Amino acid sequence: MGRNIELSRVRNIGIMAHIDAGKTTVSERLLFYSGKTYKVGEVHDGAATMDWMEQERERGITISSAATTFSWNGHAITLIDTPGHIDFTAEVERSLRVLDGAVALFCAVGGVQPQSEQVWKQSEKYGVPKIAFINKMDRDGADFFGVVEKIRDILSARAVPVVIPIGQEDAFRGIINLITMKAVVYAGDTPEYECEAVPIPPEYEALAREWRGRLAEACAEQDDAAQDIFLTTGDLADADILRLLRNATLARRVIPVYCGTALKNKGIQPLLDGVVQFLPSPADLPPAIGSDNDESAERAASDDAPFSALTFKIVNDKHAGKLTYLRVYSGIIHIGDTVTNSTRRDEQRVGRLMRMHANRSEAIAEARTGDIVAAVGLGKTKTGDTICDPRHPIVLEAIEFPAPVMSISIKPQSRIEIEKTMEALHRLADEDPTFFVKLDQETGETILSGMGELHLEILVERLKREFGVGVTVGPPEVAFRETITNIVEGQYKHVKQSGGRGQYGHVWLRIEPLSKGEGFEFENEVRSGRIPSEYIPAVEKGVLRAMERGPLAGYPVVDVRVVVFDGSYHEVDSSDAAFQEAAWWCFRDLYLKAHPRLIEPVMSLEVTTPEDYVGGIAGSIGQRRGRIDDLEIQAGHRVIRGMAPLSEMFGYSNVIRTLSQGRSGYTMQFEHYEPVPMALAEAIIKKRREQNKVR
């Protein structure tokens, strides 16, 4: 059977936050209080429903985003619990692309942390409306109003509390709802307590009136008529506040803020109310935008519109086979339907449809607009592909993923396992768009590239546990890149004659540096048919081939614009191959004249430590070519923020534990590429060239 609820009562939401803010714990409480589960699964017991992978339960972290659907007050809510660790940012990226709304989770002690900022930026890129939940209100150092200010200052978001806490830290015992002006005081910490609205405690009446006024004022600013009422009376009706706050949330002008402590089972029901009151249904959002034969196209969120869906996740299930996760943007899909993968121009048949609950599934006959489901039978489909009605093709906006910053080499432990290893690696790469597998033709090594040490460590573990493949792992390597600093131009003429038809390709190229992070641009300025248009793509291919292994040290070349502006051809001897070869040699010759340099990934770093260890940790960052940008006190600890090259940070978790007797922790995430210091660059280049000679 399919969904039997109207579209306006559908919510597709995700929970996004910094690592250890409590995302999975909040998810478990949402499932429990909605009646989806009858027992609370705890992360620390390795029993969380949403963390079903062995590695997740052992490590107490979320690695793979998990989806489930439950009901609350007559609404169907599909929830995706996303990872907080930066190494698994692809899971957040793909989830936010297909979600309609999100709960931004913040620790009441840590506030807005580095990964909080990162996922916030990702959600803003996709225009996702959000509400906020400040968790861990029972922790020492909890500061609800301080975190609200940080959301405003650091994220430039209009955070507007809808509830305020009754007490903080050990004294946290409930919340005051500023819309109903009622309190909820929790009788205990167990999940089974009764949650009833009661009058506001007398000692909190003045504070509640103050924050109710601020809430009403924020809502009044959204509407001229409401502003007149507010200026006259100093307040608004509850219904007007709900309506105006919802409209402002959908427009991303306001972030309603809730609070509680998920571990102690407090504040969850009001958060569920906030999800259905303020976050959008698919019907509240603009039509999905895409293209049809290079023409702009769109699909309204309606069952009556032609079917269209975006693939956002691939999972290789040992029982069901390849599961393709779809977000349906329009129309209806049934079991047995033939659909078109418009990204790859390939027709496929839907074998089965399933609604997922973490790693368990429920068979359904159809999926409607707004549904998030898994399909079996779409074997050739990849992450980011569009699936649609063959009679009404459309290609929806795909998902952008960050490039890997670290690599390791692996070698199967026996020759007979080589084929098995490669098959397993390609299945893992199918699931994870930030994981790349490459065979180095010169060395015969298999190179795995990913987002960090933990990411690659988990993938190697999965090889062993899920596929029964043991491998020998080489040391990690940083994804260095090469670029240029000067503009140069020149020519190369590729002429070869050895009997029969010859080869002739002649190009003039100009190469120019681009700004940091701009990648690669190719432009054609050839006039008067000096190079026939059919050979221009071959010139670009030759340049791209040369950029795969830069002439400086053999690393990929980035942030370069290449312009082909002149050349010549031969009516008989010219070919695609000849122009590719000419472009390849021309780029390599010019590149070495353009003052090339080596660049490296630099990570933003945040260390939380007791005061006693600040000096030693600051010194260790300096020893790693890092810099400290900020030092602040937070809940009795020092927070050190700065930057450091990834190449210097291998094994830093052990260093920081030793320096602080295990009492300090750190997080880091990729920020940008910076030039490698000259002396160090020369050593890296020399070593790289020696390795290439040995090969």
Lowest mean pLDDT among 49-63, 70-84, 640-654: 49-63
167-203 pLDDT, tens digit per residue, is 999 899 999 999 999 999 987 666 566 667 889 999 9
| Residue 207 host element (H or E) | helix 205-220
Q: Which residues contact 517 (CB under 8 A, 6 or more apart)?
A: 559, 672, 673
The reported pLDDT for the residue numbered 694 is 46
pTM check: above 0.75: no
Please tell me whether residues 262 and 165 are part of one structural domain. yes
Contact between 488 and 441 under an 8 Å Cβ cutoff? The reply is no
Please tell me whether residues 349 and 372 are part of one structural domain. yes
The reported pLDDT for the residue numbered 59 is 45
In a domain, 191, yes or no: no
In a domain, 472, yes or no: yes
For the stretch 222-255, what's the b/e string if a residue is b when 16 or more beta carbons lie within 10 angstroms of its beta carbon?
bbeebeebbeeeebbeeebbbbbbbbbbbeeebb
- Give the residue-averaged pLDDT of 675-687: 89
Quickly count: other Cβ atoms within 10 Å of residue 490's Cβ.
14
- Give the residue-averaged pLDDT of 531-543: 95
Which tokens hold the place of 182?
A: 């009622």
Q: What is the DSSP string of 135-173?
A: E-TTSTT--HHHHHHHHHHHH---EEESEEEES-GGG--
Total count of domains within the chain: 5
Can you give the CATH number for the domain in which 416 is found?
A: 3.30.70.870
In a domain, 210, yes or no: no
Please tell me whether residues 467 and 490 are part of one structural domain. no
Q: Identify the band that residue 45 occupies on the pLDDT scale cut at 50, 70 and 90.
A: very low
- Give the residue-averaged pLDDT of 574-591: 95
In a domain, 443, yes or no: yes
Closest alpha carbon to 113 in 150, 145, 73: 150
The reported pLDDT for the residue numbered 88 is 64
Amino acid at 476: P
Distance, CA of 274 to CA of 285 (rounded, Å): 18
Please tell me whether residues 585 and 507 are part of one structural domain. yes
Highest-scoring range by mean pLDDT, 282-296, 426-440, 540-554, 665-679: 540-554
- Give the residue-averaged pLDDT of 600-623: 89
Percent of the chain with pLDDT over 90: 49
- Give the residue-averaged pLDDT of 497-503: 73
Please tell me whether residues 412 and 499 are part of one structural domain. no
Q: Which residues contact 286 (CB under 8 A, 6 or more apart)?
A: none
Lowest mean pLDDT among 206-220, 223-237, 473-487, 626-640: 626-640
Contact between 593 and 512 under an 8 Å Cβ cutoff? The reply is no
Can you give the CATH number for the domain in which 358 is found?
A: 2.40.30.10
Of the residues 396, 424, 452, which one is the last residue of a structural domain? Answer: 396
In a domain, 574, yes or no: yes
In terms of DSSP bridges, do strands 75-81 and 10-16 run parallel, antiparallel, or are they unpaired?
A: parallel
Residue 683 pLDDT greater than 50, yes or no: yes
Mean pLDDT of the chain: 86
528: left (phi over 0), alpha (psi -120 to 50) or beta: left
Please tell me whether residues 452 and 563 are part of one structural domain. no
β-sheet with 255-259: strand ranges across: 66-72, 75-81, 10-16, 101-107, 130-135, 255-259, 159-161
357-399 pLDDT, tens digit per residue, is 866 778 899 999 999 998 998 888 888 899 999 999 999 988 8
Structure-model confidence comparison of residues 61 and 318, the more confident one: 318
For the stretch 420-444, what's the b/e string if a residue is b when 16 or more beta carbons lie within 10 angstroms of its beta carbon?
ebeebbeebbbbbbbbebeeeeeee
Can you give the CATH number for the domain in which 157 is found?
A: 3.40.50.300
For the stretch 322-339, what's the b/e string if a residue is b when 16 or more beta carbons lie within 10 angstroms of its beta carbon?
bbbbbbbbbbbbebebeb
Amino acid at 132: A
Which tokens hold the place of 501?
A: 């038809």
Can you give the CATH number for the domain in which 617 is found?
A: 3.30.70.240
Please tell me whether residues 531 and 574 are part of one structural domain. yes
Q: Which residues contact 20 (CB under 8 A, 6 or more apart)?
A: 84, 107
Closest alpha carbon to 409 in 370, 465, 372, 449: 449
Please tell me whether residues 49 and 115 are part of one structural domain. yes
Of the residues 544, 563, 595, which one is the last residue of a structural domain? Answer: 595
Percent of the chain with pLDDT over 70: 90
The reported pLDDT for the residue numbered 441 is 60
Of the residues 396, 415, 443, which one is the last residue of a structural domain? Answer: 396
Distance, CA of 13 to CA of 128 (rounded, Å): 10
In a domain, 14, yes or no: yes
Q: What is the DSSP string of 330-396?
A: ES-EETT-EEEETTTTEEEE--EEEEEETTEEEEESEE-TT-EEEEES-TT--TT-EEE-TTS--EE
Distance, CA of 28 to CA of 51 (rounded, Å): 10
Residue 506 pLDDT greater than 80, yes or no: yes
Q: Identify the band that residue 500 occupies on the pLDDT scale cut at 50, 70 and 90.
A: low
Which tokens hold the place of 57?
A: 């339960």
Closest alpha carbon to 132 in 141, 140, 119: 119
Q: Identify the band that residue 444 occupies on the pLDDT scale cut at 50, 70 and 90.
A: low
445-475 pLDDT, tens digit per residue, is 788 888 777 788 888 888 888 888 888 888 7
The reported pLDDT for the residue numbered 508 is 96
Residue 410 pLDDT greater than 80, yes or no: yes
Please tell me whether residues 306 and 161 are part of one structural domain. no
The reported pLDDT for the residue numbered 89 is 66
Longest dimension (CA), the chain: 101
* Structural domain boundaries enclosing 627: 599-679
HSE at residue 544, side-chain half, CA atoms within 13 A, is 11
Please tell me whether residues 134 and 274 are part of one structural domain. yes
In a domain, 635, yes or no: yes
Contact between 459 and 469 under an 8 Å Cβ cutoff? The reply is no
Q: Identify the band that residue 356 occupies on the pLDDT scale cut at 50, 70 and 90.
A: confident
637-651 pLDDT, tens digit per residue, is 788 999 999 888 887
Per residue, the 3-state secondary structure of 634-658, as one string, reads ECCEEEEEEEEEHHHCCCHHHHHHH
Can you give the CATH number for the domain in which 513 is found?
A: 3.30.230.10
Please tell me whether residues 546 and 423 are part of one structural domain. no
Lowest mean pLDDT among 283-292, 427-436, 639-648: 427-436
Residue 63 pLDDT greater than 50, yes or no: no
In a domain, 626, yes or no: yes
Please tell me whether residues 77 and 26 are part of one structural domain. yes
- Give the residue-averaged pLDDT of 536-564: 94
